[in-house]
Structure 1
Amino acid sequence: REREREREKMWHCSVFSISSCFLFFVFLNSSTTNALSVDLINTTCKQCADKSTILSFDFCLTSLQAIPVSHATNIQGLAIITMELALKNATNTVSSIEKMLITGAFDPFTIGCLKDCFELYADAVSMLVNSVRAFLSEHFDAANLLVTMVVEAASACEEGFMEKEGEVSPLTKENYNLFELSDVALCIINLVSSHSPSLSS
């Protein structure tokens, strides 16, 4: 009886010890991943901001820090995530423009601009989907070109409203976000491309 109780007690202690070690390992591994991801994001955003006169370090940091750290374990992952963030922005903006057009609360000039922006953003969605595919296939030049066209689409949308003096764009925030996200994506694609042993095409 006593021996059985002692064995049972020792068994429970062993299980507890193993569980404790496992939990400690998971916690340690998670903490290490978190630290590496945060460091990667900081370093990447700094590199990109230093290379550009228009890219905002704070915007880059805030945008990338919002993603789960487990998704940002390497620079290739950051490139994909940034393109996906831009895609989400463009997709949401297409829906927003549709709602604006339905309300009929704008003058003919603004409606014309919104329709142009709708086409630009619809194209941007398609281009971003294709840019992710190109990147995953290591066709970095193609991905670069597609994302560059998205940057131009955001600029074109905003500039359309400026053609009329005093006109205020209802899409300034969306255009800025898409422009910045795409610019960050471009920078990261170029960073990956410059360190890739594969030939991009």
Structure 2
Amino acid sequence: MKFSSYLLIFFIFLFLFQSTNSSNLISQSCKEASKNDPNLKYDFCVASLEDASSNLKPPPTTLEGLVDMSIQLTKSNGTNMVSIISKLLKDKDFDQYAKACLRDCFDLYSDSLSDLDDAVAAFKRKDLDTAAIKLSASLDTSDTCEDQFKEKKGETSPLTKENQVYFELNVISLAFLQMFRQHY
């Protein structure tokens, strides 16, 4: 067998080992975090993070990498929320009240993206207190957005499902950050 064949086999085994390692890390971390936080759903945590890690080369193999990946996933979802809200604002079916709520939600999510950028920067500096404060600020975004619509009787939010996903991703990021703080 040629050297290049051995090299290819080595990289295949390395990739499989890293993928298995990452999957175990995700499963164990989600299990631990879900025991300590009633807002964190184990199945959602595993599914979200395994999907996200499958797009990373290499996937995270440490809790530190998992914290970073979870914040980046939350940020990606927040960016998607801004896009969804932008499209909804162009929809003529919404009355003025709903559009005002959507504009507020747009501003909330835009600010939240800034908070998440700050959280990433703070985490990279190992300023874990600031990272936690910024993640907590981002966590409130989805609830505040959802509450906008509840202020008018009979109004329903077109973002309920998306707000819930964003909330849960923030919960994961905060829970993993807390776990990292305990081990750091």
TM-score normalised per structure 2: 0.92
Q: Among residues 154, 173, 176, which one is paired with 1:185 in the alignment?
A: 173
Q: Distance in 1 between matches of 2:108 and 2:3?
A: 57
Q: How many residues align?
A: 181
1:90 partner letter? G
Give 3-state SS (helix, strand or coil) of 2:73's partner: helix
Provide the secondary structure at the position in 2 that maps to 1:103: coil
Give the Cα separation in 2 of the matches to 1:96 and 1:20. 47
Separation in 1, partners of 2:79, 2:10 = 40
Inter-partner Cα distance in structure 2 for 1:55 and 1:44: 11
Name the amino acid aligned to 2:172.
V
Under a length normalisation based on structure 1, what TM-score does the superposition of the two structures give? Answer: 0.85
Asked whether 1:138 is paired with 2:123, we answer: no
Structure 1 residue aligned with 2:47: 62
Equivalent in the alignment of 1:165: 153
The one-letter code of the counterpart of 2:10 is F
Offset of 1:22 from its aligned partner?
Answer: 2.5
- Within 5 A, what are the aligned runs for 1:36-55? 36-55=21-40
Q: Deviations over 1:143-198 (max 9, x none)?
A: 101111111111111111122233221111221111011100001111111111xx
Identity of aligned residues (%): 35
- Give 1:12's aligned residue: none
Is 1:23 matched with 2:8? yes
Query: How far, CA to CA, are the matches of 1:35 and 1:71 in structure 2?
Result: 10
* Aligned partners of 2:19 and 2:59 also within 8 Å: no
> Which AA in structure 2 matches 1:138?
K
CA distance in structure 1 between the partners assigned to 2:179 and 2:160 by the alignment: 29
Q: CA RMSD in A?
A: 1.4
In our comparison, the structure showing a higher alpha carbon Rg is: 1
Deviation at 1:17, TM superposition (A): 4.6
Q: 1:82-101 alignment to 2 at 5 Å? A: 82-101=70-89
Q: Which amino acid aligns with 1:101?
A: L
Gap runs ≥5 in structure 2: none
